[in-house]
Amino acid sequence: MRHSLTKTSLGRRDFFARTGDGLLGLALAQLLGRDIFGGAAEASEALPNNLAWRQGHHPAKATSVIQLFMNGGPSQMDLFDPKPVLNRMDGKPYPGNVE
């Protein structure tokens, strides 16, 4: 007995669309603090928070921190381009003034 394939079979686009909808529902449930079945997320509250502050192995030496955020910089294209002058100047002192 032969079974013919009908048009009701899922196509690739339909499969990914339905899978994406299911994953969206799971992500939304996680963000809202509910489990898959709509109950309160009490089990996740019992898990330890690994990112919470805890005492280190050694006493702290630093009393303050200076954080530098330097936005910008050379383009990635400029960094990977060949630089023949750089090869010629390799090992030689810089000829200009540095202030």
- Per-domain residue ranges of the chain: 12-42
For residue 64, the model assigns a pLDDT of 92
For residue 8, the model assigns a pLDDT of 64
From the list 18, 20, 23, 49, the residue with the least C-alpha distance to 36 is 23
Answering whether pTM is above 0.75, one says no
Is residue 68 pLDDT above 60, yes or no?
yes
Report the chain's mean pLDDT, rounded to a whole number: 77
* Alpha carbon distances (Å) from 37 to 23, 27, 40, 44, 57: 14, 13, 9, 14, 42
Contact 81/74 with Cβ under 8 angstroms?
A: no
For residue 92, the model assigns a pLDDT of 92
Q: What is the pLDDT of residues 26-60, one digit of tens each?
A: 888 777 775 555 555 555 555 666 787 788 889 98
